[in-house]
Amino acid sequence: MSNELTTVADSFQALATNSRAARALAANFGTGETMSFADLTKVGVPSGGITQWQIEDITGSQSVSALTGICCYYAPYGVLWPTDEPSEDGKPLLVTHDLVRAYKVGDNYGDTDQEAIEACRNSDGSYDWQALPYNQYGTAKGGHGKRCKELRLMALLRPEDTMPLLVRISPGSLRPVTQFFKKLPVPFYEAIIELTLKKEKSKGGITYAQVQPRLAGVLTEEQGEMIARLYTRTLAEAASAREFVAESDDLE
């Protein structure tokens, strides 16, 4: 097994000596610029039970059955939209990168109860995510689930890439993904992960695609440290700066 995993790891450009990824990051970012979530190609779980990933990047559009790459970043993310059906160009009302403290990124309260939300405001201007009335079961449209949407953000670096994809794991895939990460035998930034999609049906009768993760390989500690230095720590800093990355299709 170890020989197979080493072969997989050796195919990644970012892990090469004097790697192209490191040289590209140094050359293509201006002085004082650092990688942010906005720089990454965003990939969401497709709607309607579609089991092909759709990727739109600088090379064009492509459809693939599996995403395989080094997990450069993995963290919780939560979003509260001002309406049940947000527009594509609309902003969320609140976002959180730790499911503890939320921050206001929009001024439109929509059809939410402004007074109830402001009652959850902390002295430092943040909001108590767990105390929000919309973070309770039964508050989502149709009475199923929570209106506050909990997701996971995963940055996946494919063998040919210098910049990772930002994969947004929507609520319907949280259970298999979070259980998978808890069982990883290495830190996530030392794991090579394959993501496929399986058609499922919700309690409300809605067909959706559920993410199915698989451990495809592991890196050495030295390789993991390289990934952490080039990507993981930088993206963690972007999260601490409270950059929001929500899209209106993160509702399933």
pLDDT in tens, 165-202: 999 999 889 999 999 999 999 999 999 999 999 999 88
pLDDT digits (tens, 9 = 90+) for 20-62: 777 887 788 777 778 888 889 999 999 889 999 999 888 888 9
* pLDDT confidence of residue 58: 80
pLDDT score of 14: 81
Helix (H) / strand (E) element for 85: namely none
133 — phi, psi (to 5°)? -60, -25
Position 135 confidence tier, pLDDT thresholds 50, 70, 90: very high
Query: 148 phi and psi, to 5 degrees?
Result: -65, 120
Q: Is the dihedral of CA 148, 100, 245, 232 positive or negative?
A: negative
Q: In whole numbers, what is the pLDDT of the chain averaged over residues? A: 87
What is the per-residue pLDDT across 193-211, written as a single tens digit (0 to 9) for each? 999 999 998 877 889 999 9
Q: What is the pTM of this model?
A: 0.85
